Amino acid sequence: MSFKVEKINTQPFSDQKPGTSGLRKKVTVFKQPHYLENFVQSIFDTLKDCNGQTLVLGGDGRYYNRQAIQVILKMAAANGFGRVIVGAGGLLSTPAASCLIRKYQTLGGIILSASHNPGGENGDFGIKYNINNGGPAPEQFTGAMYARSREIDVYQIAVADDIDIDRPGETSLGDMTIEVMDPVADYAELMTTLFDFDRISDYLKTGSLKICIDAMHAITGPYARAIFEQSLGAAAGSVIRAEPLEDFGGGHPDPNLVYAKELVELIYADNGPDFGAASDGDGDRNMILGKRFYVTPSDSLAVLAANADCVPGYRDGLAGVARSMPTSQAVDRVAEKLGIKSYETPTGWKFFGNLLDAGKATLCGEESFGTGSNHVREKDGLWAVLFWLNILAVKQKPVADIVTEHWQTYGRNYYSRHDYEAVESDRAERLMQQLRSTVTGLPGKTFGDYQIEYADDFSYTDPVDGSVSEQQGIRLGFTDGSRIIVRQSGTGTEGATLRFYYERHEADPAKQNLDPQQALAPLFEIAEAHMQIQENTGRDRPSVIT
């Protein structure tokens, strides 16, 4: 198909600064004339030389996904790309996109997703660029993209009919080849090289493990059906809400106890499944449940690290582990016992990329329901589920037993996150500024039975390239190892989201069965006394507690 290149005059938008996972805005914002095109051209201009290069393109299927793909394909052709690999139907989970970038050694990929944010015509949309290692673009690149978006005055686009992206195969747009691929096949093949599918399948066939995977009407439905029901032989219907829908069925595709209510009710029912898991909009997050038992993401990372020898792909040992700063220190205790390094990074998967590329870390995780490894450069929800199933098939014990035995060995890190969503931006900024102004005077101060050992605004120096990331969250560390952390999230699209994290270690097995909200109550009181959360947010309770 031949085409003519149009150069469209435009004006910059002032709000195209990428957050921790790209640019996320309301659909109505992206549908403004030139808005999407400006940002895409800013990506291509930052890349500088796109001629003859290969790009991966796909998204989580939310509203506006298909329209945006047509725009990006035409702009890619106009900017000289030689090939674009597109998931059939415009669908690609984020970890699958990372897999394709790495397998086919492409220049990078554009992923269309707002992850766990709601979808639909009045919902959210997002776009991010992943570099040639398969991981999110680092801050230096996204900073250059933003700078370009502030001065852009023209973009290039092909004048051509829309491309059929539903049928696998190749088509041409001028000199550019568009290859529509099965979005599942390459990712599913990669999983077979890491996990013992035969052992998992045999265990499922014994009937000892009934599973339920909640795809939340998001991207992982086709992946989960292919892997769990078809390859592993789980019972038909083990994957629920499996059809990807543009509005996620009216739900909120965030895998936690609040938004995965249907799965939680099933797992806590008398005749419920033995194992449950949920994933998010783009497939990079996971929630793990046993029968009437919730596994925190921090504990999940620690358990995977401690039991990596159960899994073929990790049996030779871990080079190291990495966690985001707000994630509990549970995995640090495992690393210490294994004699490996544990790295503490800012929030955002891009900070793990250098550690993985340099061979310093093998497993990574964030408290926000993200876990992954060096197999791709994104967090990976279904990978985490397979890791758990492989452990269960080897140990043949319930999830609750595996976790409680882990606590008996390493101690339990009581942990909770309190989210205050859509807080007025000026209120949120005022609270953060107040905290920054007080941290230097806090060490040595006592709050009840707790004494502050250190207090700071977390700064990270990358051990590989020496880059520095500042103001990554306020930390209050106590002499007994407890922590209170406060940071402003970069994933919301309305107002500001403030996140408060609380952690306390308990070594005594006799005291490891408390409700986390009860165990952490003294830390809640300290946070309120020092930070005046209710007054500063205007809220008398969090929006979400996990």
Q: Is 42 part of the annotated catalytic residue set?
A: no
Cite the beta strand spans of 108-162 per DSSP E. 108-112, 124-130, 154-159
Pairing outcome for strands 286-290 and 275-279: antiparallel
Three-state secondary structure call for residue 229 = helix
Q: Which two tokens stand for residue 431?
A: 């609270």
Helix axes 65-78, 35-47, angle to 10 degrees: 40
Residue 12 φ then ψ, to 5°: -65, 150
The amino acid occupying position 156 is: Q
Give the span between the Cα atoms of 189 and 174, in whole angstroms: 32
Encode 354-378 in three state secondary structure: HHHHCCCCCEEEECCCEEEECCCCC
Residues 6+ apart with CB under 8 A from 74: 3, 157, 158, 159, 160, 173
- C-alpha 70/C-alpha 53 separation (Å) is 18
**Residue 338 CB contacts under 8 Å (≥ 6 apart), including other chains:** 305, 306, 317, 318
Choose, from 93, 115, 342, 482, the residue flagged as catalytic. 115
The sign of the dihedral angle between the CA atoms of 326, 329, 332, 334 is negative
Do residues 84 and 176 make contact, with C-beta atoms less than 8 angstroms apart?
yes
> Of 310, 309, 276, 312, whose CA–CA distance to 292 is shortest?
276
Catalytic residues: 115
